[in-house]
Amino acid sequence: MFCLRGSSQRVVEPVPVTSETKAQKPSLGDINLNHEIFRRKSMIANPNVQLVKIKTVVAFRNGGGSEGAENNDRLPSLGEQTTNQPQEDSSNQPQTSKVKRRFTLADVARTVTNGRTKKVSFQEFEEDESESASQKMEANLERKASVFKKIALKLSKGSILNRKLDPGAKVKSDVERLWKIRCSLYKKEKFTKEEITLLRSLISDTLDLTGRLRILVRENEDFTNQEVETYCRDMNGLQLLFNNIVEIWQKVPDPEKSKHKDDIVSDVMELSTDVTSIVGEILLVLLQRFHLNIVPLLKPLHGLFYGLGLHVKFNCLDKDLINSTSAAGIFSGFLSGVLQLFRSAKILLKRLKFEDDASVAKKKLVQTNIASFVSDATVSHGLHSFSADELRDMMIRIGNLCTDSFYTIGKTSATLDYIDLGDGVHAVSPLESLGSISHVDFVQCPIESRSLLMSGIQLNDGQHYVSDIFLVNGNAFHSQEKITLRAPIHHSSFPASATVRVKTKSGDKWIDVDGDIIAGKCEFRASYMEAFVVVAGYRPYHREITPAGFTYMSDDDSRIRINFPQNCFSRPCIVQFRLIQLNRNRIFSYKETCPDECKYITCISDVIFIKHDDDVIINEPALVHMPIINDTDDYETELVVFRKREDGEVELIPRPSAMRCESTGNCYTFQIDRFCGLALGKANKRQLKKNRRAIIDEFNLYYETEHICTAITMLDKSSLQSGVVKFWTEVVENRFLKRILRMRMKEGLYEVPGSRSPHIRMKDYDVIRIDLDGNMGKIRSLSSDHYFISYLSSSNQNYRSFPVEPRRDPRGRNIGVINYYRESGQEDVCIHLVAVDTERFLISGPRLPTSHSEAKPPSSQTGRVTWSRGSHRSSRSVRSTIAYRSMFEDVPVLSHQSLLVLAGALPLEYATTLGVALRVPYEDILDIKALDQPPVITNFEILWKWRGKIASLEMVDALVSALREVKQKRLIDVIMLASSEKRHLKHSDFSHRHNCVQFAVAPS
């Protein structure tokens, strides 16, 4: 018998055994058939039921042994509880030779656990017609009471009655059954109508399997690690079935395939929709529970991305399917399932741990591409307005994403104990609330957006930035409970009294949040924000000053005292005191790296800010007592007071009358009648008379209002090997210059000789514009925003990397010129100029007469001009350059200039497809894409990876064949025409955008 446990339960009355059925003993096959009919009818009535096999009383009687005779307790009858039908008189029942009883095991357990509170009877059918049948039944129950008590004891210990059934047991058995069907189909060499019908049945049963698994997941609320492994096995079985169905369909020969193409492809599309959606749903449910082990999720997800890559290649890019009238509906369902899978996969990547930097870069690439694709997909409006080309583009993009994810997820099996939200921002606790913000991505603010975003930030006295600005990308950061976050900060030391605050953006307002430095990162809590930045400042103290006078002693430094005499202010008021402790390490570093700009102030105290109401009049001067740190006795210096006004300007006030405290040796007392920011120092006497501006500028450096920087120009060695000149320009603070140069050299960059700029004074938000001149120009596909640097002292991304291409200079110069302009309110000022001898670096283009004098800037431009002319003697690098040029001239259509033009005509997804068609290893393609370069350079490096150092005419045929494979006829025509004319490709050859029509990425 089976008991149905679901939303609606039914107990089926046993069929009485009559004299006609007495002789007909039911066989095992009849029983199984009845069970199957009963199960299917029950499933039709209620699809959410579970089937549980039960036993009869005879089984309990046989298992009870002699224990039933030891206990004579009477149990109530079960008949009234299990049926609403009136009992028939026993005298009217047919006679039988033995007792047959039907009842459920759940009824027995319920009766025992209820403490025999209800009357229960067994309906029985005896062969004899004696009147004492009911008495015998009661006697049997009394003898078997101990058996029921034993069952109840097993219930309390967790026996089979209350043991939770394995939710994937039925799924596992069905997977095994379907796998046998798959094996039989996979071995077939010829496919007839019967095999096609069996394949459709396999697809249909797999669809039913996904629905059953979805019900099991949604009915479960509490998950354990054992259940995670069970669901992962079920998902792995589903993705294996899906992958093999795709492969089996590809084995079907064309004549038979064409007959059943419409039916099979639509079924496979429906299956892919269900499989992606159910896997995405299970991932999302399990990833929100941080106490679970998510490592088993990697295997089914890894295999599913492989299968989706094949599915997109062989089915989704089918020309007939894309051009059909029902394409929008079919692809809309598939897209919704893929979006759910991508969202869950992006969350999973945030919890995976990657050891090497290359794997971390690939992880970031996949996360960025998934976020971009999800934001671009217009599922809410449907795909009915999409053209066939747009559908094709979307499918190619999905295929590339699946292949990238396949290669990325397979590189790790370790997890993090926090969520990596991107660019070093980690969500730490509370674990039960991290699921609500697991979809959030943080990115460092793009350089071109810094000035606009930070215009609304108001810094207090002495506050300065210590981190980059982080933006919430995509979905908003919002949680009902405050989340603890950790963000990276600029590596610099803070004075002891400095406090760290985090400014979070909510709408148009910036709100201050408390922060703390833990393990080199800033930790803070927030529930909603759109952006944030970490600042360091100093706490204020408020005191009331009455007409009786007051003496203030700083809580941060007891040596600083301010004596307000009687009637100092015109009325009682609240005065704010804030001590700004200067960063002494910064001062010493500047004196070492910039001795010419930092030689006029020999020593200086900290800065004390004193602020009061604007309407208060100062009647008497106050007496200030403060120390000078690292005080020295120098007769060429003079005591001065640096007063920082409300408008930010610095006023220099000589105080030779300041009295020195003999007990301390470095403390001085002086009078002041104008407050705000006050600092005492010793400055050079001559400069006080000749150039006070230099002393004030030096003070601004120590106060961190300004920074002395250098613009460096570097070249990428790896790109030079492929014939592309890619410059790296960076604005570096002078005290970090040596460290940055060492780091860039490890990254494969080297400084162009003589290209370092003179010292440049920079403030936060200052903008430097880069312009190219001479015989090299900008890549046309890069926007003008790519040639700006908005400086931020606390950021490590004050750089730009851009490639250049050769051009013919109208003035006949054979040098390239890089101009650096500082943007101002009126006219941009040239602050630096670099001239590069292109003969040493550019490896194509005719040799033109060089006239360096024509490249010099006008005398009105400021800045030092440096030249890199190159040696007149032939060096090894020049000889290798000539050798490269000779090779390019043999096959001009494959020169670096031609491939660069071709790369600009191909979108990134299509260049990836073409690279795979050219047999470039996908690992190498993914490494190139993970470098975060402009798309045109990424495309070019993929093509150059295929081309190598030596080009040949056979390679032209290989390129044409690969383009024919991806159905790019017009590109073939252009290349064939340029090859026949023995010339380079030109931008005019690709005046319109061309789309590929086939996804050729097949993971290996």
- Give me 822's structure tokens: 């500082």
Average pLDDT rounded to a whole number, residues 862-873: 36
Neighbours of 803 (CB within 10 A): 20
**Range with lowest mean pLDDT among 90-99, 338-347, 498-507, 605-614:** 90-99
Over 70: is that where the pLDDT of 482 sits? yes
Residues 898/900/905/906 CA torsion (nearest 10 deg): 120
Contact 469, 456 (CB under 8 A): no
CA distance 734 to 701: 12
Report which of residues 707 and 901 the model is more confident about. 707
Residue 503: strand pairing partners: 512, 533
- Give me 25's structure tokens: 């003993």
341 SS3 class: helix
Q: What secondary structure letter does DSSP report for 314?
A: I
Amino acid at 272: S
Residue 885 — φ and ψ, nearest 5°?
Answer: -60, -35
Q: 471: closest CA among 524, 511, 530, 424?
A: 530
pLDDT at 34: 58
Distance of CA 116 to the CA centre of its chain: 60
Per-residue pLDDT tens digits for 153-206 = 444 444 333 434 454 566 778 788 888 888 888 888 888 888 888 888 899 988
pLDDT at 128: 45
User: Which of 192-196, 306-310, 870-874, 888-892 has the highest average model confidence (pLDDT)?
Assistant: 306-310
pLDDT at 4: 34
Per-residue pLDDT tens digits for 563-577 = 999 988 888 999 999
Reported confidence tier of residue 261, pLDDT bands at 50, 70, 90: confident
pLDDT at 723: 65
Contact 817, 773 (CB under 8 A): yes
Query: Where do runs of H (alpha helix) occur along 691-770?
Result: 692-702, 717-721, 737-746
Reported confidence tier of residue 230, pLDDT bands at 50, 70, 90: confident
- Give me 718's structure tokens: 């790896």
Over 70: is that where the pLDDT of 36 sits? no
pLDDT at 697: 92
Residue 778: strand pairing partners: 804
Average pLDDT rounded to a whole number, residues 195-224: 87
**Range with lowest mean pLDDT among 47-51, 404-408, 947-951:** 47-51
Report which of residues 711 and 140 the model is more confident about. 711
- Give me 188's structure tokens: 């077939």
pLDDT at 845: 34
Report which of residues 521 and 154 the model is more confident about. 521
pLDDT at 146: 52
Query: Where do runs of H (alpha helix) occur along 99-144?
Result: 105-113, 133-143
* CA 53 vs CA 5, 147, 167, 686, 713: distances in Å: 11, 20, 15, 103, 78
Contact 909, 935 (CB under 8 A): no
Contact 903, 722 (CB under 8 A): no
Q: Sign (positive/negative) of CA torsion 807, 810, 814, 820? A: negative
CA distance 263 to 598: 80
pLDDT at 487: 92
Contact 358, 296 (CB under 8 A): no
pTM (predicted TM-score): 0.71
Average pLDDT rounded to a whole number, residues 880-892: 53
- Give me 368's structure tokens: 């960025």
With a CB cutoff of 8 Å and minimum separation 6, the contacts of 21 are none
pLDDT at 561: 92
CA distance 243 to 16: 52
pLDDT at 633: 82
Per-residue pLDDT tens digits for 743-774 = 998 888 888 888 899 999 999 889 999 998 88
pLDDT at 948: 83
Contact 394, 452 (CB under 8 A): no
Contact 781, 854 (CB under 8 A): no
pLDDT at 474: 73
Over 70: is that where the pLDDT of 83 sits? no
pLDDT at 332: 85
pLDDT at 22: 45
Over 80: is that where the pLDDT of 47 sits? no
Per-residue pLDDT tens digits for 371-381 = 888 888 755 45
Contact 445, 471 (CB under 8 A): yes
**Range with lowest mean pLDDT among 367-381, 392-406, 514-528, 798-812:** 367-381
Reported confidence tier of residue 394, pLDDT bands at 50, 70, 90: confident
Reported confidence tier of residue 840, pLDDT bands at 50, 70, 90: low
Average pLDDT rounded to a whole number, residues 416-427: 88
Residue 617: strand pairing partners: none
Over 70: is that where the pLDDT of 107 sits? no
**Range with lowest mean pLDDT among 31-35, 72-76, 385-389, 680-684:** 72-76
Report which of residues 466 and 716 the model is more confident about. 466
pLDDT at 138: 54
**Range with lowest mean pLDDT among 90-94, 299-303, 675-679:** 90-94
Reported confidence tier of residue 590, pLDDT bands at 50, 70, 90: very high
pLDDT at 67: 42
First to last CA, the chain: 51
**Range with lowest mean pLDDT among 126-130, 168-172, 619-623:** 126-130
Q: 757: closest CA among 832, 849, 653?
A: 832
Pairing mode of beta strands 464-465, 622-627 = unpaired
**Range with lowest mean pLDDT among 219-223, 584-588, 989-993:** 989-993
Look over the chain and give the mean of its residue pLDDT values, rounded to a whole number: 76
Q: What secondary structure letter does DSSP report for 163?
A: S
Amino acid at 725: V
Over 90: is that where the pLDDT of 904 sits? no
625 SS3 class: strand
Report which of residues 471 and 884 the model is more confident about. 471
Reported confidence tier of residue 839, pLDDT bands at 50, 70, 90: low
With a CB cutoff of 8 Å and minimum separation 6, the contacts of 808 are 775, 845, 848
Over 80: is that where the pLDDT of 543 sits? yes
Of all residues in the chain, the percent with pLDDT exceeding 90 is 18
pLDDT at 844: 38
**Strand intervals (E) in 565-655:** 573-580, 601-604, 607-611, 622-627, 637-644, 650-654
- Give me 50's structure tokens: 């579970």
Residue 289 — φ and ψ, nearest 5°?
Answer: -115, 105
pLDDT at 605: 92
Over 70: is that where the pLDDT of 992 sits? no
Compute the residue count for the chain.
Answer: 1004
Over 90: is that where the pLDDT of 733 sits? yes
Of all residues in the chain, the percent with pLDDT exceeding 70 is 75
Average pLDDT rounded to a whole number, residues 27-43: 53
